[in-house]
Chain A
Amino acid sequence: MSDEEETQPTDEQKIEIAKWFLLNAPAGEIQYIAKDMKAVLQDETLYITAAAEAFPLYNKSHMICLDFPDRSGEVMVTPFSEIGENEYLDPRTAQVAIVDHVNQVCRRARPANDEELPTPYIEEYRYALDIEVTKYVSEAYPKGICSVHCVNGKDVEEPGMDFELVVVISAARLSPQNFCNGSWRSIWNVEFKDEAQLVEVRGTLQVGAHYFEEGNVQLDAKHECKDSTMFTSPEDSAHSVTTIIRHHETEYLNSLQTSYSKLPDATFKDLRRKLPVTRTLFPWHNTSQFSLRKDIQKNLGLEKKK
């Protein structure tokens, strides 16, 4: 009865549904979801609209990394590097990438304008931090990428004002042939506070993993932390901040491993043990003669504990 009452969703609703599926794709899987979504929607126009809205959000959230067409470097697509519609700044090469979100490629590049870049004063700090973080990432992550941007105060020309940098680190391991994909994303906000002469560091770490051979199992873990250090020279601040990042990320990895080791012993047992407490299998053959629960329990020699 209720099936006939249900009407087809409106075009708008279909677009929202398609967007939702695309946005919730695990790392590295949006193109597979795109293909399946097209088949389910059976409507090219609706899909294109949904994709145009979903892909930019997904790409920024997953901080995808794209090569410049002339291979002069790479650019990270993040909310922090976005300077215009489909335009993303790479501070290292001072280039702006024009990005095709749906196909996840960089179409072309142009040099950045002066207005788009931070002042030399800010750039000193940004550059020093970039050097330190790049070194750290190359040591800690087999396949990590990182980038440092100024998100506040890029026009500050000399000491006396606050400014804020953001460090983004992203590592993805895609192995679809093994039915396994994973990603690590960290975002570190680094606030330089002039009056207090303090640098406040806030981190958001997010780890995901997806295994899908004959099933669908996903890890979704998130952690926030904060720390601080003294506001000193660009090189010293960069060194301190990177030490903070290294410390917290290492700690987090350790606590993830602890969570995993606790799983079989304690957490999992809350749900289902490997073997029954009595360590024997259930006597199914004894029960077929009884239809009353009381009889079953009596015959198994068990008392109700109350």
Chain B
Amino acid sequence: MEAAMGLMRRIPPKHSEAALTALLSLLPHHSADLLSQVDQPLQVLCDVDSGKQFILCEYNRDADSYRSPWSNKYHPPLDDGLYPSQELRKLEVDANDVFMVYLDQSINRYYEGGTSSVYIWEHEDEGFIACFLIKKDGSRTADGRRGYLEEGSWEAIHVIEVVPLEEATARYCLTSSVMLSLTTNDESSGNFNLSGSIRRQMNMDLPVAAGHLCNMGRMIEEMESKLRYSLDQVYFGKTKEMVCTLRPPSEPVQTRLLELISKRRP
């Protein structure tokens, strides 16, 4: 299993779907572990009742059907599918509404456009697990406003395990994965593709007075900012640094820089 995860860390991100399929066929006994630990590009379906899109993942799947968070129905229909309890379903409905506002185009917040879904279900004792998903397509043909990207997508999966503690607090364990892919294609720079995924964890004990939704939302917002910063600075910075190490920029640039630096010294 460790070897499988090692392979997933090295395979080019654009091939991760093919890689996972291959590993699942080779290691069928580990399929549960693989599916939960390896993040895959997110797919969407359209809810038959409301016409709204919802995101597919392991957490809303039962057999080959997927449950819509809007209508609570399985697509395609299932006779004996699993459903969350009434209480959790209510939390799920609220979470989906709120999360959609977090993403909503009309208030131009973090995302311009995109699809979101939240799934909640029971977990040990009185706890529950909530899964928040975001899928955003930034390519020229989809939601991207400025049209620089030939192809681009940001997908985030946040899984929070909530366990009630004593003293009206609860422990929230968040595991977040962000998958990102950017492609530009033009005359001067040819085909340029940067893609990647990173995973982080965050644990917090918070009072439940503010409500589970509020606590989870705050954690997710904080986590997403951290992840975006990481992706930007560390990962994209690091790959660029590598390119410049392979073939340093030509001398005139360097001499100019040196001149600037020496001028600044007192």
Enumerate chain A interface residues (CB-CB to B < 8 A). 1-3, 6, 8-9, 13-14, 17, 20-21, 24-26, 29, 32-33, 35-41, 140-142, 144, 171-173, 180-184, 205, 207, 209-212, 214-224, 249-260, 262-264, 266-278, 281-282, 284-285, 287-288, 290-293, 296-297, 300, 302-306
Contacts and interface: CB of A to CB of B under 8 A. Distances in A.
9 contacts: A3-B31, A21-B22, A36-B10, A37-B3, A172-B246, A216-B196, A266-B148, A272-B110, A278-B108
Interface size class of B (residues with CB under 8 A): 35 or more
A209 to B, nearest CB: 4
Contact of A284 (B111, B191, B217, B250): B217
B106 A2 contact: no
Interface of B: 2-4, 6-15, 18-19, 22-23, 25-28, 31, 63-64, 90, 93-94, 97-98, 100-102, 106-112, 136, 138, 144-146, 148-149, 152-154, 180, 182, 184, 188-200, 210-211, 213-214, 217-218, 221, 224-225, 228-229, 231-232, 234-236, 238-240, 242-250
Given A271-B153, A288-B211, A209 B109 contact: no
Nearest to A220: B193
Contact of B190 (A24, A37, A223, A302): A223
Nearest to B251: A139
A284 B213 contact: yes
A149 B232 CA distance: 41
A137 to B, nearest CB: 10
B231 A217 contact: yes
Nearest to A137: B247
- Identify the 6 closest CB pairs spanning chains A and B, nearest first: A217-B196, A223-B190, A215-B198, A39-B3, A182-B242, A288-B211
Contacts of A304: 106
Given A210-B10, A250-B250, A219 B194 contact: yes
Contact of B136 (A26, A184, A218, A272): A272
Contacts of B180: 271
A217 B247 contact: no
A211 B239 CA distance: 7
Which of B106, B109, B189 lies at the interface centre, i.e. has the most chain A CB atoms within 10 A of its CB? B189
Nearest to A184: B246
Nearest to B14: A220
Contacts of A220: 12, 14, 193-195
Contact of A278 (B31, B107, B200, B217): B107
B5 to A, nearest CB: 9
Contacts of A306: 106
A4 to B, nearest CB: 10
